[in-house]
């Protein structure tokens, strides 16, 4: 398998385009099309937010009845909290796009990201469909990554190739997200494609499993968006038979797909709104994996912990307090250990003899490090990626609609 690459590789059977529709800002690319060849399969996971956006509901419905030929993604407007009108507008975009592509309306999937509670300017999207369709190109992954951005500061696009005896498979993906990020499935969007041939049933199991261990292990601010969506497409254009979990190539293929998912998830946290630190919170020893996750997220989402990360302040009491309120089962203080960047701070519930705060403060000045926490005696272990809260996080979100 080749190394993961930030240089996008084309995926046979996928073409993309990105154009400006003026949804929020003039001359800013904000409508992205991803065309998928006939015969491809697709699977997706979506937000668990009860008040999900109209496009999320439509995507679920359309995927249940047909395999998609076109993804239509707009930035600048979430089309969430827009009532029945939101469905009317999203359907209109799907209908007009399907007419131009000569496919069924159900074969068009709409995705939106941006401000919640404002009507989607569907006519602006429809007006640029012909322009975008005319620009479809297999090499436009990087442009598409830029087109789906909102408060992101950098585009997020990664590729890899999986070399097997049967064939070489390409996997390329893009994502967006920098705030309102605690994917609970997956404001986050992710679109990943491969030229392997995989049934929709196996693809759905794959995307759910990998999303659970990548996009569902990150948090920027603990907020789950109304629009979170993660789509995995398999075009089947690579040579060789269909891949299944019983195939000799499956493990290598699955690992390659997970590498792209993990890189995209990591890039989202690294680009967190106002973030200056990327921190892995690793928790082990819980009675169940869910207990480990409860403790990890309690720490990763604590405003007091996150502001301490920004200040390079080794205030481990905030970490201990967050674990204590996490709801993890059967916590005992004498089983708690904490370390930052490999420097032991707490062992068996008490400060480590000779602990020097300056050692941890020095580690915390780095751009990336790990907080490790033991909460019991089991061999279970999970890790959650988080970032710090800086002054800029407040500024960005205070000015978001201005």
| Count of the separate structural domains present in the chain | 2
Mean pLDDT value of segment 20-33: 92
Written as six digits, the tokens of 98 are 């399907």
- Share the mean pLDDT of the chain: 92
As a whole number of angstroms, the distance between CA 192 and CA 212 comes to 15
Beta bridge partners of 159: 5, 172
Q: Taking the C-alpha atoms of 11, 196, 267 and 90 in order, what is their torsion angle to the nearest 10 degrees?
A: 70
How far is Cα 95 from Cα 384, in angstroms, rounded to an integer?
A: 40
Model pLDDT for residues 182-204, shown as the tens digit of each residue? 655 445 799 999 999 999 999 99
41 lies in the same domain as 81 = yes
pLDDT in the model for residue 185: 46
The token pair at 212 is 């659970």
pLDDT band at 1 (very low <50, low <70, confident <90, very high): very low
182 with 75, same domain: the answer is: yes
Query: Do the Cβ atoms of 232 and 261 come closer than 8 Å?
Result: no
- At 260, is the pLDDT very low, low, confident or very high (cuts 50, 70, 90)? very high
Same domain flag for 228 and 304: no
Is there a single domain that holds both residue 94 and residue 149?
yes
Q: What is the mean pLDDT of residues 77-100?
A: 96
Q: Residue 114's pLDDT is what?
A: 87
From 187, 219, 226, 374, active-site residue: 187
pTM for this predicted structure: 0.90
CATH of the domain at 246: 3.60.70.12
Question: Strands 229-234 and 41-46: what pairing?
Answer: antiparallel
- Position 343 pLDDT exceeds 80: yes
Quick one: tokens of 39? 């015969």
Asked if residue 340 and residue 266 are part of one domain, the reply reads no
Last residue in a domain, options 211, 235, 270: 270
**Which of 270, 294, 310 finishes a domain?**
270
Confidence of residue 13 (pLDDT cuts 50, 70, 90): very high
Is 164 a known active-site residue?
A: no
9 within a domain of the structure (yes/no) = no
User: Whole-angstrom distance between the N-terminal and C-terminal Cα of the chain?
Assistant: 46
In this structure, the answer to whether residues 246 and 298 fall within a common structural domain is no
Please give the angle made by the CA atoms of 186, 107 and 177, to the nearest 5 degrees: 25
DSSP category for residue 187: -
Q: Please name the helix (run of DSSP H) or strand (run of DSSP E) that holds residue 256, with its range, or none.
A: helix 250-270
Helices (H), 275-315: 289-300, 303-311
2 inside domain: no
pLDDT, greater one: 254 or 116: 254
Is residue 260 domain-shared with residue 300, that is, in the same domain?
Answer: no
Kindly state whether residues 252 and 141 are assigned to the same domain.
yes
The per-residue pLDDT for 61 is 97
Domain-embedded: residue 8: no
Cα separation, 367 vs 343, in Å, equals 16
Residues 6 or more apart in contact with residue 185 via CB below 8 angstroms:
45, 46, 47, 48, 211, 215, 216, 228, 230
Least Cα distance to 230 among 113, 331, 124 occurs for 113
Cα separations (Å) of 223 from 14, 48, 293? 32, 11, 16
Is 124:23 a contact under the CB 8 Å cutoff?
yes
Instruction: Tell me the CA distances in angstroms from 314 to 303, 308, 391, one per residue in order.
Output: 14, 7, 19
What confidence tens digit (pLDDT) does each residue in 298-310 have?
999 999 999 999 9
Are 111 and 148 in a shared domain? yes
Taking alpha carbons only, the member of 181, 148, 144, 177 closest to residue 159 is 144
In this prediction, residue 395 has a pLDDT band, given cuts at 50, 70 and 90, of confident
Number of neighbours of residue 163 by Cβ within 10 angstroms: 13
Cβ atoms of residues 120 and 82 within 8 Å: yes
Query: Does residue 307 share a domain with residue 223?
Result: no
Which of 242, 270, 298 is the C-terminal boundary of a domain? 270
What would the pLDDT profile of 176-186 be if each residue is shown by its tens digit?
Answer: 986 655 655 44
Residue 170 lies in a domain: yes
Whole-Å CA distances, 31 to 126, 127, 231, 391: 10, 11, 17, 31
What residues make up the domain containing 41?
14-270
Residue 27 lies in a domain: yes
Q: Residue 50: what pLDDT?
A: 82
Q: Is 257 helix (H, G, I), strand (E, B) or coil?
A: helix
Domain assignment of residue 4, yes or no: no
CATH of the domain at 326: 3.10.20.340
Q: Are residues 286 and 140 in the same domain?
A: no
């Amino acid at each position: 398998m080749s190394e993961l690459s930030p240089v996008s590789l084309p995926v046979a059977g996928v073409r993309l385009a990105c154009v400006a529709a003026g949804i929020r800002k003039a001359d800013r690319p904000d409508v992205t099309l991803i065309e998928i060849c006939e015969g491809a399969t697709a699977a997706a996971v979506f937000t668990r937010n009860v008040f999900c956006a109209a496009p999320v509901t439509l995507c679920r419905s359309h995927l249940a009845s047909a395999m998609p030929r076109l993804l239509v993604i707009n930035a600048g407007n979430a089309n969430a909290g827009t009532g029945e009108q939101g469905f009317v507008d999203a359907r209109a975009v799907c209908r007009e796009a399907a007419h131009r592509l000569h496919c069924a309306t159900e074969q068009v999937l709409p995705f939106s990201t941006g401000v919640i509670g404002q009507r989607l300017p569907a006519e602006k999207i429809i007006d640029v469909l012909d322009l975008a369709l005319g620009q479809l190109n297999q090499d436009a992954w990087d442009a598409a990554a830029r087109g789906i951005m909102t408060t992101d500061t950098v585009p997020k696009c990664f590729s890899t190739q999986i070399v097997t005896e049967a064939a070489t498979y390409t996997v390329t993906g893009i994502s967006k997200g920098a705030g309102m990020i605690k994917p609970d499935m997956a404001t986050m969007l992710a679109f990943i494609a491969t030229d392997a041939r995989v049934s929709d049933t196996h693809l759905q199991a794959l995307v759910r499993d990998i999303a659970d261990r990548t996009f569902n292990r990150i948090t920027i601010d603990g907020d789950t968006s109304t629009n979170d969506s993660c789509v995995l497409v398999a075009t089947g254009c690579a040579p060789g038979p269909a891949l299944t979990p019983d195939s000799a190539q499956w493990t290598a293929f699955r690992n390659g797909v997970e590498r792209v998912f993990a890189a995209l998830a990591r890039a989202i946290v690294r680009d967190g709104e106002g973030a200056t630190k990327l921190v892995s919170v690793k928790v082990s020893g819980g009675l169940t994996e869910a207990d480990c996750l409860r403790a990890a997220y309690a720490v990763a989402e604590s405003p007091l912990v996150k502001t301490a990360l920004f200040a390079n302040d080794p205030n481990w009491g905030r970490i201990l307090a967050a674990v204590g309120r996490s709801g993890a089962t059967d916590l005992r203080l004498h089983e708690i250990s904490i370390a930052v960047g490999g420097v032991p701070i707490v062992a068996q519930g008490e400060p480590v003899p000779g602990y020097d705060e300056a050692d941890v403060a020095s580690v915390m000045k780095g751009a990336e490090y790990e907080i490790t926490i033991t909460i019991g005696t089991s061999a279970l272990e999970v890790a959650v990626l988080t970032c710090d809260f800086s002054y800029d996080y407040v500024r960005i979100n205070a000015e978001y609609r201005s």
